[in-house]
Amino acid sequence: MNTVKIDFCDFWPGFSKTDNFFCNVLRKRFDVEICDSPDFLIYGDPGQHVHRVHNCVKIYFGVEANLPDWSECDYAFSCHYLDNPRHCRLPYYVLGVNPIKLVKGGEDWAALMAAKTKFCAFVVTNRHPSKTKKRIDFFHRLSRYKKVDSAGGYLNNMGFVLPPGAHEKQRFLRAYKFNIAFENCAVPGYTTEKLVDAMLGKCLPIYWGDPRVGDGFNPRSFLNYADFPNDEALIEKIIELDRDDAKYLECMRQPNFHNNSPNMEFDQNRILDFFERIFTAKIRPVSARRRWLQIGRWIPVKKKRPNWI
């Protein structure tokens, strides 16, 4: 296998340079060498700036709905649908998920229903006055029908805060019929882990967000806010399903994917082919063309950066 020298920066605290989605995928086709002077840099959050000290080929990965800044990166992975050969669509929900677990078949539906002892769950840590207003308002309106258990750091009514991590959340959701899975914003392509966590938690997602969510997922496998004229109509549907186990199970039996087969975003060969093009292309990196910007105040950033970046 060909050796590729890469590095990572500007990711979340606790991010491992040697054990992450990109490394694990790349090792299927390449010999990955993590080094401080890489040929290729994969960087994240645009609110951080360590990537600016590098003059190699830079690959941006967007977790949220930010568009790639082509003045700073040579290639990009993001949730967006972009007609650009330098871009590969990679929604955040793909990371860390085995799509086979989302394929339905062989479920013990009687046991699943017996485990549904609670109504609806809500897990939110952050509150933003504009970004989260829609889901907060919906939480309060649905709570007028029955208590919605909020186990996150915000609006917590459980007496404990759910530990971080997808597995803890999915295990928590198994006792619930429904989960409020609202995104931060409604941007085409911006489907995050919220929908997938609810599906893996074996409960029915109440979703708001990506207008194109039906491209990758069977729209009959969840309740999509966009299919209802207002909050009240959606809540009426939730109440109907809550009171009728047969109708609820009819929704739960629906495959998560079209034709019960993982969507193309999970295809790792597609991602590897994109990396193959990156690693074999002969380009002058954007950062090298703008090298004069790398001096000055960015030098101390590299020297003082914490180990996890």
Q: What is the pTM of this model?
A: 0.90
User: Can you read off the two tokens belonging to residue 5?
Assistant: 């020298």
Q: Percentage of residues in the chain with pLDDT exceeding 90? A: 84
Output the CA–CA distances (angstroms, integers) from residue 136 to 67, 131, 229, 235, in the order listed: 26, 10, 18, 14
Structure confidence by residue, pLDDT tens digits, 172-199: 999 999 999 999 999 999 999 999 999 9
CA distance 150 to 162: 9
Placement of tokens 């590299």 in the chain: 302
Q: Is the dihedral of CA 297, 299, 285, 1 positive or negative?
A: negative
**In the predicted model, is pLDDT for residue 39 greater than 60?**
yes
CA distance 301 to 48: 10
Binning pLDDT at 50, 70 and 90, where does residue 58 land?
very high
Q: Which residues of 85-96 are buried (b: 16+ CB within 10 A; e: fewer)?
A: ebbbbbbbbbee
In terms of DSSP H, where are the helices of the chain? Answer: 21-26, 109-115, 133-142, 166-173, 193-200, 213-216, 231-243, 245-252, 268-280, 286-289, 298-304
Structure confidence by residue, pLDDT tens digits, 239-292: 999 999 999 999 999 999 999 999 999 999 999 999 999 999 999 999 887 554
Q: Parallel, antiparallel, or unpaired: how do β-strands 57-61 and 40-43 relate?
A: parallel
Q: What is the pLDDT of residue 290?
A: 59
Q: What is the pLDDT of residue 291?
A: 53
User: Can you read off the two tokens belonging to residue 303?
Assistant: 């020297």
Selected from 3.40.50.1820, 3.40.50.11650, 3.40.190.80, 3.40.50.620, the CATH number assigned to the domain covering 3-92+265-304 reads 3.40.50.11650
Region 161-166: mean pLDDT is: 91
Domain ranges in the chain are 3-92+265-304, 104-260
Q: What is the pLDDT of residue 164?
A: 87
- Note the CATH number of domain 104-260: 3.40.50.11660
Contacts of 226 (CB under 8 A, 6+ apart): 208, 211
Binning pLDDT at 50, 70 and 90, where does residue 109 land?
very high
Question: What is the average pLDDT score of the chain?
Answer: 92
Contacts of 83 (CB under 8 A, 6+ apart): none
Please tell me the number of Cα atoms within 13 Å of 76 on its side-chain side: 24
Among candidate residues 103, 41, 32, 45, the one with its CA nearest the CA of residue 74: 41
> Letter for the amino acid at 297?
R
Binning pLDDT at 50, 70 and 90, where does residue 96 land?
confident
Region 21-46: mean pLDDT is: 95
For residue 229, the SS3 value is coil
104-260 matches 3-92+265-304 in CATH topology: yes
